[in-house]
A and B are shown apart, each in its own frame.
Chain A
Amino acid sequence: MRVMAQMGMVMNLDKCIGCHTCSVTCKQAWTNRAGTEYVWFNNVETRPGQGYPRRYEDQETWRGGWELGKRGNLKLKAGGRVQKLLGIFASPVLPKLADYYEPWTYDYQTLINAPLGDDFPVARPKSLITGENTKITWSANWDDNLGGASEMGELDPIVAKLNSSVRRESEEKVKFEFEKTFMFYLPRICEHCLNPSCMASCPSGAIYKREEDGIVLVDQDRCRGWRQCITGCPYKKIYFNHKSGKAEKCTFCYPRIEVGLPTVCSETCVGRLRYLGLFLYDADRVTEAAATPDEKDLYEAQLDLILDPNDPQVKAAAKANGIPDDWMDAARRSPVYALAKTYRVALPLHPEYRTMPMVWYVPPLSPIVDVLSNQGHDAESRETLFGAIDALRIPVDYLAELFTAGDTDVITGVLQKLAAMRAYMRDVSLGRDGDPSIPESVGMSEETLYEMYRLMAIAKYSDRYVIPTAHVERAHELEEIGCSLDFDEGPGMYESGPFGEASGKPAPVAVETFNALKRRQTSDTAMTSDSSGELQGRVNLLNWDGNGAPPGLFPSGKGQRS
């Protein structure tokens, strides 16, 4: 067992309001440069819809991800190494700019510069690629909110699949008439896969996975622009910077993560639906899990890779593999572990691509709730909800194609848990006693259901984002053995121990220094005037600014401790 840590994300799709704030803030932070105009590390798709780039899920066309060879071995869908090298001079399958969209700006100047005339001046759209006038025909979210779905809905690869499969002949199909349709939003970033096919496709070996946190990055100095990774990624989350000639991708905001801050998309998410935390996984078994014969077993195989941070064996192996203690602690408190493995409500996107994606999704109950409330039913009662999950096959089938390679049982199970949570919590919030039979019916205890509710509905910032900083632990140990600033309240601890002054562990020097310096810098009086309390009766010459004598250095004349 080789235990490795992986930063992961869970998104609770029920809460996404499709505001695109995440996309916009991400773009401002990372891709507002020339050459990346069309690049959206984070994009939000309306489903059903074609996605971005258009129809990227149709792997028969785009050949992303892995597939099983004849002997059950894992191989790149786009071909083996020799085949890839032979096709390197012109990539056989590479999305063209038209499959994304032609980025544009407006000729705003004419609004103020146009000569006086009868007509209002208009700002014409100008292509950012050619600089010429252009016609806007598509964008990253052109089919937002089912725009044009009545005509183009069938172009969604999943809809096409569901509507064409034989078993559907007599049954219902995904419909796009207003009353019969459903939709939800799917925000997407790079999945930071455990078995990334982008990396495997890169001839230069420029794409790498960080040992410490599993973030997948492109080494800009080693990328040579062979553009094979773009074909390789089934999620089409590697983009080609057409100015620099290098591949770029979502960085999981690693400079922020390293100092314990959430990614920009998470931080700014209006629906507060994103969770960040650690997974521990067994790196030795990744390939084996990804080669699971039956696509429908891939979800379980992926879950099996995720290790329990409370398991003593895992703990020992993690220690042996150099995972610091504060990372282990973070792994135990990890919200993503809880949602994916403890409650089993978060699912990987398209496990059938066999890349072992590490951005997980809680599937939305809203398509079903919407239908129910449109029809005037009580969408919070267990009976109606459970009945509807069984009856409304279309949304369930659709979600299954997204998250479980078509296994509707898993989706139904998860939706039932979400429905149970809704029904159970309605009683509780109306002041009635919770009905214990509800959690029981989905195989959960009242306590776990309640905990899950807390995590999913009202979790605070620090519960949603449990991000251990980049190995500060050792640095602190050098200063003060066994102490870290990461305990509750951090430096604020200094004020009072749980049982009053001087109880508990001594405040670390670092904390004391921090507080004293802060006070000196923000107070109006000199350190020595009457700041006897400052150092709590101890002497710390590091804080002595040379004015007078540091308190506590000399016994006070009156026989009192100062």
Chain B
Amino acid sequence: MDDFLWGVLPYLCIASLVGGTVWRYRYDKFGWTTRSSQLYESRLLRIGSPLFHFGILLVFFGHVGGLVIPESWTEAVGVSEGLYHFNALLFGGLAGVCTLVGILILVYRRRTTGPVFMATTKNDKLMYVLLVAAIVLGLWTTLVSVGAGSEAHNYRETVSPWFRSVFFFSPDVASMAAAPIQFHIHALVGMALFALWPFTRLVHAFTAPLHYLFRPYVVYRSRDKAGASGSRSGRPGWSGVGTTDRDRQR
């Protein structure tokens, strides 16, 4: 059972995430959007959405820090286990609470604002259930740790090695199996969320527009260039139909 949960499932989940994203990007660019509902309702969104997003981004970086960076590295730069955990609990907890409050506002808004509710699909509902569950369970692990004080389970000795080992194709099932139950459930829900990610509106996070900082303000594009919107880009061995005189002229 542990082998399946921590040895097979992660790969199924990654396959779904990567494959699904590639598939969606190739075949459903038109559906790749935030599906903003600000046109319908702005007041609650302006509180809830930034709260949630800034929170979840912090949470994301927190996870990167906790899962990817080995304990030995942080200790090498002189951050003790206790200090690390204090920080993680404080900032992680704060970010988590922001995220939770944010998403609760968003869900409340979705349910009570007529037009926004009308525009909510089944897909959205499933996504919200998983997202809220993941956040709540994540906060639960934090709370349990706080409650346990210095006895708290050090996930950087169980969950983190397992997480990294997954990417080296030799999943360290044993250390994950040794983690307490709340971590197990949180990880499972997280995996479900990632498996579903490419098929929901969450894909918008993958196209976070950071290149905006670097591109010129005015964008020129030629009508004739292959690959422009609507025209299929060239494939080797095929030549296009019709005249390409403008290109030839150049």
Binding site for B on A (CB under 8 A): 81-82, 84-85, 88-92, 94, 96-97, 129-132, 195-196, 199-200, 202-205, 207-213, 217, 219-227, 240, 242-246, 258, 286, 322, 324, 470-471, 473-475, 478
Contact at A240–B245, with CB atoms within 8 Å?
A: no
A322 contacts across to B, CB distance below 8 A = 246, 249-250
Contacting pair B219 A207 (CB below 8 A): yes
Q: A211-B223, A324-B249 are in contact. Are A204 and B49 (CB under 8 A)?
A: no
User: Can you list 23 A-B pairs, Cβ within 8 angstroms, ordered by A?
Assistant: A82-B213, A89-B49, A90-B42, A90-B50, A92-B46, A96-B39, A96-B42, A97-B40, A129-B118, A130-B118, A199-B219, A205-B212, A209-B219, A210-B221, A212-B246, A217-B229, A221-B30, A222-B229, A224-B34, A224-B207, A224-B209, A225-B204, A244-B33
CB-CB under 8 A from A242, the residues of chain B are: 37, 39-40, 119
Q: Which secondary structure dominates where chain A touches chain B?
A: loop
Shortest C-beta distance, A348 to chain B (Å), equals: 18
Within 8 Å CB of B246, what residues of A? Answer: 212, 322, 471, 474
Return B32 CB to nearest CB of chain A, in Å: 6
Shortest distance in angstroms between A370's beta carbon and chain B's nearest beta carbon?
39
Q: How far is the CB of B108 from chain A (nearest CB, A)?
A: 15
* Bound Cα distance A556, B32 (Å): 71
The tally of residues in B whose CB lies under 8 Å from a CB in A reads: 49
In the complex, are the beta carbons of B54 and A89 less than 8 A apart? yes
Assembled-state Cα–Cα distance A9/B19 (Å): 47
Going nearest first, the 9 A-B pairs with the smallest beta carbon separation are A474-B245, A203-B209, A225-B33, A245-B35, A245-B33, A200-B217, A221-B29, A208-B221, A203-B212
Residues of B within 8 A of A222 (CB): 29, 229
Chain B nearest CB, measured from A86 CB (Å)? 9
User: CB of B122 within 8 A of chain A?
Assistant: no
State whether B212 touches A220 (Cβ < 8 A).
no
Collect the chain A residues with CB atoms within 8 Å of residue B39's CB: 94, 96-97, 240, 242
A230 to B, closest residue via Cβ = B39
B235 within 8 A of A: no
Contacts of B212 in A (CB 8 A): 81, 84-85, 202-205
For residue B181, CB closer than 8 A to chain A, the reply is no
> Which residue in chain A gives the minimum CB-CB distance to B44?
A90
- B114: Cβ under 8 A from any A Cβ: yes
B56 CB to nearest chain A CB (Å): 10
Q: How far is the CA of A84 from the CA of B37 in the complex (A)?
A: 18
Given contacts A203-B212, A221-B30, A471-B245, whether A209 and B50 have CB atoms under 8 Å apart is no
A221 to B33, CA, bound (A): 9
What is the CB-to-nearest-CB distance from A133 to chain B, in angstroms, rounded to a whole number? 12
Among A205, A223, A475, which residue has its beta carbon within 8 angstroms of that of B243? Answer: A475
Q: Do residues A204 and B207 form an inter-chain contact, with CB atoms below 8 A?
A: yes
> B180: CB under 8 A from chain A?
no
Q: Are A225 and B36 in contact (CB under 8 A)?
A: yes
Q: State whether B204 touches A224 (Cβ < 8 A).
A: yes
The answer to whether A90 touches B221, judged by C-beta atoms less than 8 angstroms apart, is no
Q: Which B residue sits closest to A82, measured CB to CB?
A: B213
Contacts of A89 on B, CB cut-off 8 Å?
Answer: 49-50, 52-54
Q: Which A residues are in CB contact (< 8 Å) with B213?
A: 81-82, 85
Q: How distant is B57 from chain A, measured CB to nearest CB, in Å?
A: 10
CB-based contact B217/A90 at 8 Å: no
Residue interface bits B205-234, CB-to-A below 8 A is 1, else 0: 001011111010111111110000110000
Q: How far is the CB of B37 from chain A (nearest CB, A)?
A: 8
B20-39 CB mask vs A (1 if < 8 Å, else 0) is 00000000011011111111
B45 at interface by CB-CB < 8 Å: yes
- Give the complex CA separation of A209 and B118 in angstroms: 35
Q: A199-B218, A210-B221 are in contact. Are A226 and B42 (CB under 8 A)?
A: no
Chain B: which residue is nearest A207 at the CB level? B219
B34 touches A245 (CB 8 A): yes
Please name all residues of chain A whose beta carbon is closer than 8 Å to the beta carbon of B54 when the two chains form the complex.
Answer: 89
Tell yes or no: B65 within 8 A of A by CB.
no
Nearest CB on A from B95, distance (A): 15
**Known: A204-B209, A475-B243. Contact between A132 and B29, CB under 8 A?**
no
Shortest beta-carbon distance, A191 to chain B, in Å? 14
Q: A200 contacts which chain B residues (CB < 8 A)? A: 217-218
**Is the beta-carbon distance between B114 and A227 smaller than 8 angstroms?**
no
A549 to B48, CA, bound (A): 83
Whether, in the assembled complex, B115 has its beta carbon less than 8 Å from a beta carbon of chain A, the answer is yes
A473–B243 Cα distance when bound, in Å, is 11
User: Which residue from chain A places its CB closest to the CB of B42 in the assembled complex?
Assistant: A96
Q: Which of A90, A202, A211, A258 has the most CB of B within 10 A?
A: A90
Q: Are B46 and A90 in contact (CB under 8 A)?
A: yes
Closest B residue, CB atoms, query A240: B39
Assembled-state Cα–Cα distance A96/B46 (Å) = 13
Of all chain A residues, the one with the shortest Cβ separation from B29 is A221
Complex contacts, A205 vs chain B, CB 8 Å: 209, 211-212, 215, 219
Distance (Å) between the CB of B214 and the closest chain A CB? 9
Please measure, in the bound complex, the distance between the C-alpha atom of A324 and the C-alpha atom of B50, giving whole angstroms. 50
For B250, what are the chain A residues with a Cβ–Cβ distance below 8 Å? 322
Residues of A within 8 A of B42 (CB): 90, 94, 96
Complex contact A221–B222 (CB within 8 A): no
